[in-house]
Amino acid sequence: MIKYQYRGKGPEHLLALARNHERAQLLALFFTMLRIRMIEEAVESRYHEDQMKTPIHLAIGQEAVSAGYSAALEPSDYVFCGHRTHACYLAKGGDLKAMFSEFFCRANGCAGSRGGSMHLLDKSVGMMGSSAIVAGAIPLATGSALSSYLKDEKRVTTVFLGDAAVEEGVMWESLNFALLKKLPIVYVCENNYYSVCSPIEYRQPPVEICKKAEGFGALSFSVDGNNVLEMYEIAQRAVAHAREKGPVFIEAHTYRWRGHHGSGDDSHTGYRDVQELALWQSQDPVLMMKQVMYSLGYLDEASERVMREKIELEIDAAFEHAIHSANPVKEDLCKFVYSEGDTHVVG
Amino acid sequence: MLWDEKLVEENAKTKNPLGEGRVITYTQALQEALVLKLKQDSRVFLLGQGVDDPGGMFGVTRGLKEMFGAKRVFDTPVSEEGMTGICTGAAMTGMRPVYFHNRPDFLLLAFNQLVNHASKIHYMDAGKTSVPLVIWSAIGRGWGSGPQHSQAIQGLLLSVPGLKIVMPSTPYDAKGLLLGAIEDNNPVIIIEHRWLMKQQGVVPEGIYTIPFGKGVYRRRGEHLTIVGTSQTLQLALAAIDQLKAEEGITADVIDLRTVKPLDEAIIFESLAKTGKLLVVDTGWAMGGVCAEVGCLVAEKAFHLLKAPIRRIGLPDAPSPAGYTLEQFYYPTDVTIAQTIKEMVRGK
Ligand SMILES: Cc1ncc(C[n+]2csc(CCOP(=O)(O)OP(=O)(O)O)c2C)c(N)n1
């Protein structure tokens, strides 16, 4: 039985929205999504080799959320996220080599092999960190927004969270405080309807998540998370509102194509209907955008091939880098338990 | 609420502060530290339930909102986990929060952010982020506070890498350790004791810090070594002063000042002379500071021991609310003196 229908307006709407955007912007958005998809697929295809000894949470099927959203951010804006890190990290500009090194447990991984795939960060591009504890990064991001408020900066902090994260009390503690102080923060909830194998109807009464946030007083949006332009346009409004006026909550409806973690689909285990997956795959965010690009004449087979080759080269080089990087040494184990200096980023 | 308060007041009056110089109360010493830091460092801000109410955290924060403005000194929602995460996020992004709690019991709601986040972020980020966060709370012994309002939870936190735990026992230390905590680049938990708040002591003006992990001798003597912190250390001092006057029993009394990091060297140094160890703590004896110090000595300084180690902490039971049961529950100078006599007489 299909429990969760695609609720968006489909490819025609994407095409209609595309007519309002510049070609370069559209190409950039498509490139970001395609790059995330290809990187995720490449990671997945090598995962069985057991060289990446880290639990992965693939974002395949959900690329439009991070790609569309992050395009509305300034490089100096901050992003935090939960365990499903890859797409958020890449969309914010996180370094691919450092990400792969982290997956391969190398000393030069972005977290020095202390965090693994659930803890990606790249402070040089404002990717501030993530938490493997559901909802754990939500107050951290709120605190980052508090910093901006105290320092009178115009920086916006964003936190990506899953639909299960709103079942934790700290979500609402954070939103309550953020609204109280009018902090510059956007909460982006990627509602993919499942927490591991538990459908949302087993976990939450049928009230839209964005309505709950609205009840707290936040400006809230419900978005087709498979439509990269809808995502981008709402993100622009949300980020502008957060920067000037205060907290925004976005609920983006999307679907994860793979199992909760690891490689491959696990629908056959029975917690969701394969027909449901097929339905959502027919609304593939990357393919939808590609078709729009073709019909607008912004992309053709030759230019798409060039794009793909560029990404493939980058992926190969990043794998080479990670595979040939050094492992940590024993002396690294107890390093950085305590901070000796003041390491926060300034500016 | 009067019975114990009277006792505390009496104690504070009858005890003459040692040394020469300006005498102020424990509370004033703490406030002075806050004022100095708020003036000196624009990154410092204070928050907590009731920091700006008429009580002002036993007077520690009274008047600071008026002095430094509502942006830097503010009341919070009753959201301990959320606010701890928010402080952590603010610390990660360059601020120096000092977060006040009336009682350590309320920190239990914040363990996710303390133990899973604040204490680990520096390590997980491979040293790229520091969390200069101070969390302050005061143990509420007596006044019928009972099982949920008088817990001393330092033992629960002792095994968490990345945290520092400070437990002052004098006004001089309270100020110097708080100043040090605010300057530290790590999450520091300060566990005060309500019964010390009215104590008077010599306190220098201006900024000075007391190094963490360095204990201090409060008495020098021959017959045994007493190790402890905070209010129980004051009880032990009362006990040994009495015993010295009455029976000529003397002890090295070591104030650890911080239980994490823990000064091993000073304990071993003293034991080399006395050969007998008594550990006292405001918390449960099992698995806490008493247990850790005892184990450390058994492991590394067994050869120095002439008698079994003794510990005086709380029994393996919650703290009762009722007056009579409380009398059985808590150590006093009399019960400590009794144990000392047993140890010295070799019973
Ligand atoms: C506090 C906490 N409880 C449980 C888990 C185990 N867990 C890891 S991911 C996950 C599912 C979260 O679902 P959701 O927030 O919807 O994100 P998604 O995986 O769908 O991206 C759970 C329950 C956890 N990591 N942290």
Are residues B28 and B171 both part of a single domain?
A: yes
Give a yes or no: residue B91 inside a domain: yes
Which amino acid appears at position A8 of this protein?
Answer: G
Q: How far is A204 from chain B (nearest CA, A)?
A: 21
Nearest to A252 by CA among A28, A57, A63: A63
Give a yes or no: residue B318 inside a domain: yes
Q: Residue for token digits 């080759």?
A: A309
Are residues B248 and B338 both part of a single domain?
A: yes
Are residues B186 and B230 both part of a single domain?
A: no
pLDDT above 90 covers what percent of chain A? 98
Annotated catalytic sites of B, by residue? 149
Residue B103: give its domain's CATH number.
3.40.50.970
Q: Is A169 on the interface with B (CB under 8 A)?
A: yes
User: Residue A195 — pLDDT band, cuts 50, 70, 90?
Assistant: very high
Are residues B234 and B154 both part of a single domain?
A: no
Are residues B89 and B131 both part of a single domain?
A: yes
Task: Characterize the bridge pairing of strands B258-260 and B164-166.
Answer: antiparallel
Residue span of the structural domain in which B268 resides: 216-345
pLDDT of residue B16: 56
Burial of A279 (0-12, 13-18, 19+ CB in 10 A): middle
Of A150, A344, A346, the CB nearest to B130: A344
Of A139, A337, A344, the CB nearest to B82: A139
> Which residues lie across from A256 on neighbouring strands?
none
Burial of B74-111, coded b for 16+ CB within 10 Å and e otherwise, reads bebeebbbbbbbbbbbbbbbbbbbbbbbbbbbbbebbb
- Alpha-carbon distance B55 to B228, whole Å? 30
pLDDT above 90 covers what percent of chain B? 91
Give a yes or no: residue B255 inside a domain: yes
Contacts of A83 in chain B (CB under 8 A): none
pLDDT of residue B5: 66
Rounded to the nearest 10 degrees, the angle between the axes of helix A169-181 and helix A209-216 is: 40
Contact A138 B185 (CB under 8 A): no
Nearest to A328 by CA among A105, A121, A111, A110: A105
pLDDT of residue B12: 65
Q: Whose CA is nearest to atom 6 of ligand 1?
A: A134
Average model confidence (pLDDT) across chain B: 95
Angstrom distances, CA of residue A224 to CA of A212, A249, B168: 18, 14, 55
State the distance from the centre of ligand 1 to the C-alpha of B135, rounded, in angstroms. Answer: 28
**Residue at a domain's end among B144, B179, B202:** B202
Contact A344 B94 (CB under 8 A): yes
Q: How far is A89 from chain B (nearest CA, A)?
A: 14
**Is residue B278 over pLDDT 90?**
yes
Are B98 and B44 in contact by the 8 Å Cβ rule? The answer is yes
Are residues B232 and B185 both part of a single domain?
A: no
pLDDT of residue A345: 42
Are residues B80 and B131 both part of a single domain?
A: yes
Give a yes or no: residue B210 inside a domain: no
**Is residue A33 over pLDDT 70?**
yes
Q: Could you read off the pLDDT of A298-338 as tens digits, one per residue?
A: 999 999 999 999 999 999 999 999 999 999 999 999 999 99
Q: Is A342 on the interface with B (CB under 8 A)?
A: yes
Q: Could you read off the pLDDT of A101-159 as tens digits, one per residue?
A: 999 999 999 999 999 999 999 999 999 999 999 999 999 999 999 999 999 999 999 99
Q: Can you tell me the mean pLDDT for B173-185?
A: 98
**Residue at a domain's end among B202, B232, B253:** B202
Residues 6+ apart with CB under 8 A from B261: B164, B212, B213
Contacts of B82 in chain A (CB under 8 A): 139, 142, 169-170, 173-174, 176-177
State the distance from the centre of ligand 1 to the C-alpha of A23, rounded, in angstroms. Answer: 38
Q: Could you read off the pLDDT of A228-239 as tens digits, one per residue?
A: 999 999 999 999
Query: According to the 3-state scheme, what is the secondary structure of A9-54?
Result: CHHHHHHHHHCCCCHHHHHHHHHHHHHHHHHHHHHHHHHCCCCCCC
Contacts of A347 in chain B (CB under 8 A): none
Are residues B268 and B291 both part of a single domain?
A: yes
Q: Can you tell me the mean pLDDT for A52-63?
A: 97
**Is residue A346 over pLDDT 80?**
no
Residue B250: give its domain's CATH number.
3.40.50.920
Are residues B27 and B65 both part of a single domain?
A: yes
**Residue at a domain's end among B146, B171, B202:** B202
Contact B94 A78 (CB under 8 A): no
Q: Can you tell me the mean pLDDT for B185-191?
A: 98
- The distance of Cα A314 from the centroid of its chain, to the nearest Å, equals 20
Instruction: Using the atom order of ligand 1, give the atom closest to the CA of residue A195.
Output: 13
Instruction: Using the atom order of ligand 1, give the atom closest to the CA of residue A83.
Output: 9
Domain count, chain B: 2
- Chain B residues within 8 angstroms (CB to CB) of chain A: 45, 71-72, 76-77, 79, 81-95, 112-113, 116-117, 121-132, 161-162, 164, 185-186
Give ligand 1 pocket residues (Cβ under 6 A).
A 83-84, 132-134, 162-165, 192, 194-196, 260
Q: Could you read off the pLDDT of B65-103 as tens digits, one per residue?
A: 999 999 999 999 999 999 999 999 999 999 999 999 999
DSSP state for residue A110 in the 8-state scheme: T
Q: How far is B293 from chain A (nearest CA, A)?
A: 21
Are residues B96 and B153 both part of a single domain?
A: yes
State the distance from the centre of ligand 1 to the C-alpha of A297, rounded, in angstroms. Answer: 41
Contact B87 A337 (CB under 8 A): no
Give a yes or no: residue B298 inside a domain: yes
Rounded-to-10 torsion of CA B293, B294, B295, B299: 100
Q: Could you read off the pLDDT of A278-303 as tens digits, one per residue?
A: 999 999 999 999 999 999 999 999 99
Q: Can you tell me the mean pLDDT for B193-202?
A: 96
State the distance from the centre of ligand 1 to the C-alpha of A91, rounded, in angstroms. Answer: 21
Using DSSP, state whether B51 is helix, strand or coil.
Answer: coil
Give a yes or no: residue B106 inside a domain: yes
Are residues B292 and B190 both part of a single domain?
A: no
Using DSSP, state whether B224 is helix, strand or coil.
Answer: strand
User: Residue B53 — pLDDT band, cuts 50, 70, 90?
Assistant: very high
**Is residue B18 over pLDDT 80?**
no
Q: Can you tell me the mean pLDDT for B43-49?
A: 98
Give a yes or no: residue B118 inside a domain: yes
State the distance from the centre of ligand 1 to the C-alpha of B77, rounded, in angstroms. Answer: 26
Q: Can you tell me the mean pLDDT for A9-31?
A: 98
The nearest alpha carbon in chain A to B88 belongs to A140
State the distance from the centre of ligand 1 to the C-alpha of B116, rounded, in angstroms. Answer: 15
Question: Is there a cis peptide before residue B77, judged by omega within 30 degrees of 0?
Answer: no
Q: Whose CA is nearest to atom 14 of ligand 1?
A: A162
Of B128, B185, B186, the CB nearest to A121: B128
> Which residues lie across from B101 on neighbouring strands?
B137
DSSP state for residue A122 in the 8-state scheme: B
- Full set of structural domains in chain A with CATH: 11-325 (3.40.50.970)
Q: Could you read off the pLDDT of B319-343 as tens digits, one per residue?
A: 999 889 999 999 999 999 999 999 9
Q: Which of A110, A127, A337, A340 to mutate to test the interface with B (most CBs of B within 10 A)?
A: A337
Are residues B234 and B136 both part of a single domain?
A: no
Nearest to A90 by CA among A129, A44, A157, A39: A39
> Which residues lie across from A198 on neighbouring strands?
A195
Give a yes or no: residue B209 inside a domain: no
Q: Which of residues 64-83 of A touch B (CB under 8 A)?
A: 78, 80
User: Residue B2 — pLDDT band, cuts 50, 70, 90?
Assistant: low
pLDDT of residue B241: 97
Supply the pTM of this predicted model. 0.95
pLDDT of residue B1: 43
pLDDT of residue B142: 82
pLDDT above 70 covers what percent of chain A? 98
